[in-house]
Each structure stands twice: as C-alpha cells, then as structure tokens.
Amino acid sequence: MNPDVVVIGAGTAGMTAALRLSGTGATVLVLAEGEGALPLAPAQVDLLGYTPALVSEPLRELAPFLQERPWHPYRLVTPDEIEAALGWFADLAAPLGYVGSAQRNRLQPTALGALRPTCLVPETMASGDLSEGGEVLVVGLRGFRDFHAQLVAENLGQAHLASGAAVGARAVEVSLVGDPRDLRPQLLVRRLEQRAVLAQLAREIRTELGQETLIALPAVLGMERSHEVWQRLQELLGRPVFEIPTPPPSQPGQRLQQVLFRALRRQGGEVRLGAKATGFRGTGGRVESITVQLASREVQVSAGEFILASGGLGTGGVTVDPDGGLHEPVFDLPVTTAGAPGQPSAEYFATQPLDRLGVSVDSEMRPLGTGGEPLFTNLRAAGAVLGGAEPWREKSGEGISLATGFRAAAVITGGGG
Ligand SMILES: Cc1cc2nc3c(=O)[nH]c(=O)nc-3n(C[C@H](O)[C@H](O)[C@H](O)COP(=O)(O)OP(=O)(O)OC[C@H]3O[C@@H](n4cnc5c(N)ncnc54)[C@H](O)[C@@H]3O)c2cc1C
C-alpha cells in the first residue's frame, strides 16, 4: 500500500482523522503500536466537565474557559467545528445509538457511583442521566468482581444535584446461570447475548424489583449485539435499563473500537496494530517517510501527508527521561508544558509541572519548533499528544481527541483554516 495519508495512532484522534480523510476518497493507513485508550475508556464523549466548577453547558462555557487558558487545544477548533465533529461521530457510530449534544452535560454514574459530566453516551447508558434525580435499582452480578452494586448505590444516594432533586438507589446482587467463580467481562458479554441467560437474569431482577423507575447494570450487556440485549432486557423488565461503565477493560470501549475499525475498512482504509513508528526521513520541511518497526523487520512508509495522533504519556506519544527531559519520539518535536507550574506541588489535587505536556501546533495543526515556526508542511498533530490540556481534571479527553482529529483532517482536505 502506498497511502495518501499515514496516521500514527489508532485512538479516538487517529481514527477520527483517518475516517474523515478516507471518507473523502483518500487512501489512509493507520499505524499503531497498541490500541490506545479506546478499548479501556467508557466510550462516553466528555467535552468539558469542570472548569474547575461543574459545567452544565459545555459549548457555552468554552469561551470563558479558553480566555483563561489561551494554550488549550480547544483554541484550535471553533464551537461549530466541535458540534460538527460530535454530529459526525454520532452518525458514524449509529450502531451504538449515541445520545446527547455539546449544548448540555448529562450526569452519568461511574463504577464508583459518582456522577460524571459528559456529553454523548451510547444508547445503552442514556437513561442513566441522573441530572434530574431518579430512583435506581443497582444490580450487581454475583461473582463479577469489577462492579460493586452496594458501593455504587451508597454513593449515588449521596449525590447533591444542582436541580435540588434527589437520587434514590438500592443495591441487589443476582446470579446468572453458570459458574459464578469466573465472571470476567469478556465472558459475560457473550453469555448475555444468549436469550436464555438474559431471560434468567430478567427473572432474577424482577423478583428484587421495588418502586424503582430505573435499573442499572454493569456495562456488560453484549458485544456485537449490545443494542438487542439492552432493548430485550428493558422489554422483559418493563422499565428503562442503563449500563454503568466498569473499570478497564471496557466493553463499551471495545464496541466503539470495533465500530470505528470496521467503518475505516469499509471505506478502504487500513489499521495495522503492532507497528511502532520510530523515526522519519524528510527534506526541505517535508516528511518523506516514517520508519516503522514491525514484529520482525523495519520498514519505511511513505505518504503525502502524516498525522501524529500518538497520545500522551500513557501511550508513549510523549516521554520523560529519568533526568526530566521531555521528548516526542517519532519526529523529535519540542515538547512543552504550556501554562503548567515550574515546580511540583505537594498538594495532591494541584496542577503539576507535567500535567499539560505535549507538542504545540499552529492553526493548521502543524507542530511548531522552538521558535514558534511550523516544522513540516505535511505533518499534523491531534489528540492527547497536544499539550495544554488536563483531560482528567477537565473531563475533556475524548472531546479534544475527537475535535482535533476532525480538524486535522479538515485542514488537509482544505476544509479548515
Ligand atoms: C481507562 C481510561 C479511562 C478514561 N476515561 C476518560 C474519561 O472518562 N473522560 C475523558 O475525557 N477522557 C478519558 N480518558 C482519556 C481519553 O480516553 C484520552 O484522552 C483520549 O482517548 C486520547 O485519544 P488519542 O487518540 O489522542 O490517544 P490514545 O487513545 O492514547 O491513542 C494513541 C495511539 O497512538 C499509538 N502510538 C503511540 N506511540 C506510537 C508510535 N511511536 N508508533 C505507533 N503508534 C503509536 C498508541 O498505541 C495508540 O494507538 C480515559 C483514558 C483511559 C485509558
């Protein structure tokens, strides 16, 4: 394959850019060392959750947020582009039926029973928006160790909502047919796709059901057929059912990854995992090819355009030496810690020096040199490799990757800038 575009990284940012470009007819090759955050994260799209105050209208609150953080990656995209990116994503991931909008944050329960602000969720989680309170029966599965219904219910019951509404929650634990000693999520999703097992689960839940208007389960309601499993369970129980994401590995994250990978293949693109970019060759301000380490050999991959979507510290998109030196390992780009304090803070929740590290780009998403000049005409960067954000604190990780991946594709096709 001699692609028009090579994307480094198969996370949300890389897949968004790849899908947008292959959708315009470009041949796209995604090279990734590993799978990134997609199969681990909850498959919800967080745009902006905290500024640090709780955000209820993310798109509206973005402008004042950026005024205080002119280095933030959201400066690279307009509110219209963010809305377009979210709309495009929801259409593309239609098999998962995404619900929500950039205008309003929902409050969805986590595996600890906290309420988390997020914009877009798969339909299997949609009725779990507890912004206006609700009475929830939290169902645990005996033997499944990644979900503690009692903990979730106790914490949900203590939620303080701005609306003044209350959340009532009660925990129950039910048994599935089969061996409860080894209920790993990968097994559960397959087992719950069997109608007899689902019917048994519904019977068990019905015997426990009181006045609750909502039923919550860990996010293991099927893999390929999650829509069908979720809908059937609702029918059997006669009440809205919603999934609560569990700790990694995330079954909703894997559903989303499958949808994105398949969509790219359908459009003629390719994802190659186990392919680590280790360097590049270039002349005259252009990248000609990248050096890629495969299982048994090293190859040069040429393309007209390159997109760096290699993630942050967690995936090796940026690295830190033992002596504190910061690196971007593929193109040796300067790494900055925009707006972060110079010295570590002893306060646990304070912003630390490395919290915002990443590469800087211009409005065309081209990585910048130390003098502030774009280094290559045909290299763009997107997602968590960009510096300036604190995704965990802001609840902005997926939104940044989606919006900047979308933008990187737009500047290549001439639709942005
Ligand atoms: C468990 C978990 C839970 C999360 N929960 C939330 C949440 O609730 N809210 C939120 O906003 N964010 C959350 N995040 C963060 C969010 O998921 C990430 O910010 C976002 O997905 C990053 O996407 P990305 O595409 O930029 O990078 P990644 O998903 O990290 O992908 C990077 C890709 O680049 C590849 N790569 C790296 N270096 C190379 C190389 N040299 N050669 C080839 N490939 C390379 C990696 O293998 C990977 O495929 C969570 C993340 C995790 C892991």
The domains of the chain, with CATH numbers, are 5-94+255-413 (3.50.50.60), 111-244 (3.40.50)
Structure confidence at residue 323 (pLDDT): 81
CA quadruple 358, 87, 112, 134: dihedral positive or negative? positive
**Which atom in ligand 1 lies closest to the alpha carbon of residue 37?**
29
- Whether ligand 1 lies within 6 angstroms of the CB of 384 is answered as yes
- Whether ligand 1 lies within 6 angstroms of the CB of 33 is answered as yes
| Residue 391 CA to ligand 1 centre (angstroms) | 11
| Residue 38 CA to ligand 1 centre (angstroms) | 6
- Whether ligand 1 lies within 6 angstroms of the CB of 117 is answered as no
Residue among 408, 402, 93, 125 at smallest CA distance from 260: 93
- Whether ligand 1 lies within 6 angstroms of the CB of 315 is answered as yes
Percentages helix, strand, coil for the chain (3-state, rounded to 5) are: 35, 25, 45
- Whether ligand 1 lies within 6 angstroms of the CB of 245 is answered as no
In this structure, what token pair is assigned to residue 369? 């040199």
**Which atom in ligand 1 lies closest to the alpha carbon of residue 394?**
11
- Whether ligand 1 lies within 6 angstroms of the CB of 310 is answered as yes
Ligand 1 pocket test, candidate residues 315, 330, 355, 356, most atoms within 8 A of CB: 315
For 180, the 3-state DSSP assignment is helix
- Whether ligand 1 lies within 6 angstroms of the CB of 386 is answered as no
Which residue's CA is the nearest one to ligand 1's atom 48?
A: 36
| Residue 302 CA to ligand 1 centre (angstroms) | 25
**Which atom in ligand 1 lies closest to the alpha carbon of residue 118?**
9
Contacts of 332 (CB under 8 A, 6+ apart): none
Ligand 1 pocket test, candidate residues 72, 82, 273, 401, most atoms within 8 A of CB: 401
- Whether ligand 1 lies within 6 angstroms of the CB of 35 is answered as yes
| Residue 11 CA to ligand 1 centre (angstroms) | 5
Structure confidence at residue 322 (pLDDT): 83
- Whether ligand 1 lies within 6 angstroms of the CB of 32 is answered as yes
**Which atom in ligand 1 lies closest to the alpha carbon of residue 278?**
41
- Whether ligand 1 lies within 6 angstroms of the CB of 383 is answered as yes
Residue pointed to by tokens 């400066």: 75
Contacts of 33 (CB under 8 A, 6+ apart): 273, 274, 275, 276, 277, 315, 316
Which residue's CA is the nearest one to ligand 1's atom 19?
A: 397
- Whether ligand 1 lies within 6 angstroms of the CB of 394 is answered as no
Torsion angle, alpha carbons of 410, 59, 218, 33, to 10: 30
Ligand 1 pocket test, candidate residues 108, 398, 404, 407, most atoms within 8 A of CB: 398
Q: What is the pLDDT along the chain (417 residues), one digit of tens a residue?
A: 679 999 999 999 999 999 999 999 999 999 999 999 999 999 999 999 999 999 999 999 999 999 999 999 999 999 999 999 999 999 999 999 999 999 999 999 999 999 999 999 999 999 999 999 999 999 999 989 899 999 999 999 999 898 889 999 999 999 886 666 678 898 899 999 999 999 999 999 999 999 999 999 999 999 999 999 999 999 999 999 999 999 999 999 999 999 999 999 999 999 999 999 999 999 989 999 999 999 889 999 999 999 999 999 989 999 988 887 889 999 999 998 876 777 677 777 777 667 789 999 999 999 999 999 999 999 999 999 999 999 989 999 999 999 999 999 999 998 665
**Which helix or strand (DSSP H or E) is residue 241 part of?**
strand 241-244
**Which atom in ligand 1 lies closest to the alpha carbon of residue 275?**
43
Structure confidence at residue 416 (pLDDT): 61
- Whether ligand 1 lies within 6 angstroms of the CB of 359 is answered as no
